[in-house]
Structure 1
């Protein structure tokens, strides 16, 4: 019997119009009413997850920043955080910049509530521009200041280089202390080595006495690979990356066809 359902957000929980469908909302509510824990797990930060799942059964605990932070969205209490070592984040930034001089860097800090972007970075809209249920700080500064504090996640972006190419280069460099991934966003995401959605779920479940065999996860992208392989049942979306579909135990319908809801309804009908 499933004891925990954990879903990625973009490309999985929400449709291409960035909504949670009524069928998916109802499925998670039915699962929670049946005594199954439900949660969102994303490369997004908790503040952003909270704005998306507000008013749904998923508005309790959540995991953000690809597993680097867990938070209760109601109380905003941080359950755990994992930041990168300064030496590691500086080394990967410096070595990637040698390969791609156009890269700009962002440091995500303070449980995901603070973004410091390198001057010239594109894509960061500024304080208050992103939907959020609580204050979030976005600001710009010189590169040395961006790299001066430990990050939950380091974002590396070059508008002239595809994220897949950045990921391939980062994997080749294999900088100690770093784990690089992508999520479908137009940049590379780097966290602490060993910190993934799978490691966060393992930590979360151990504290609650939940066996991995009783965990069902849903995902669609490269940053979901570890948890798709780790969970008792890893479900990839039909619209997911080939690597995600290959890593999963099952492939459901697309995010626009309520693929997550279809699986939850089947689980509830069995349980």
Structure 2
């Protein structure tokens, strides 16, 4: 075990936005043992407060692989940006399938939402700009994640309806267990692609990577890693993609696995 790559929400971060003390200690023990730790998340840089609260100053792979971020320096190291034309074409296709759909876009430093994407009370909480059509808001700005939201449909059904129709324009996934919210990025970019590049830069082979995740946006990462652990509490598709299973989030599953691996290293 030379590199630990962990998703955040539902894997090590709860609904309260915090990690358990046991999980924090497990990551600290990895770092003390000289093992690299990287968080691989759907969150953009502005939503990494749980890691900032811990004093983590390492690398974070954000927005499902679209952006690599140095949290200590608060600096973008690499990015893969969607262009406006691809977004607008995808919008029209998705709107043709689901007329009530609403959209938003994450840029490197802002969150742009269209009217109806979030209720008025949530706009400030989300840190979003004043709702406006994306064609008026983007103005040539590159996007790290394009979002589509629907009502009265399951997240999986929404994904299966949209992904094939826009696959030539964007890569589509989802990470919200109950909200029909799709996350779209540059085709060919996902967590595994960026993690593989990061590991190669450190001279670490995939067989020495332990990855943890729980949702469809983790599937490629779990499949790529030599040791891909899906959380027992995770999505069925994530469980099917992984070659290993960690105990449930509520049981500090990631910490349990890391503790066992560290104990084995010490006794070797």
Displacement, 1:47? 2.2
- Structure 1: runs of 5 or more not aligned: 131-135
Structure 2: how far apart are the matches of 1:161 and 1:59? 39
Residue 152 (1) aligns with residue 150 (2):
no
Give the aligned partner of residue 138 of structure 1: 129
| Deviates most, 80-89 or 233-242 | 80-89
Aligned to 1:207: 201
1:119 equivalenced with 2:119 (yes/no): no
Tell me the equivalent position of 2:215: 221
The 5 A counterparts of 1:1-271 are 2-49=1-48, 51-56=49-54, 58-110=56-108, 113-122=109-118, 125-127=122-124, 129-130=125-126, 138-146=129-137, 148=139, 149-184=141-176, 186=179, 187-271=181-265
The 3 A distance-change label for structure 1 pair 123 and 236 is farther
The offset of 1:177, in angstroms, is: 3.1
CA–CA separation in structure 2 for the residues paired with 1:201 and 1:8: 11
Unaligned runs of 5+ in 2: none
Q: How far does the alpha carbon of each residue in 1:44-85 deviate from its partner, in whole angstroms, 9 at most, with x for none?
A: 112212x11224374421111111111111211111111113
Higher mean displacement: 136-145 or 29-38: 136-145
Separation in structure 1 between the aligned mates of residue 145 and residue 99 of structure 2, nearest angstrom: 20
Taking only aligned residues, the RMSD between alpha carbons, in angstroms, comes to 1.8
Please give the alpha-carbon distance, in whole angstroms, between the structure 2 residues aligned to 1:74 and 1:83. Answer: 23
Maintained 8 Å contact 1:237/1:254: yes
Moved more, 232-241 or 173-182: 173-182
Give the secondary structure class of the aligned counterpart of 1:80: strand
Aligned length: 261
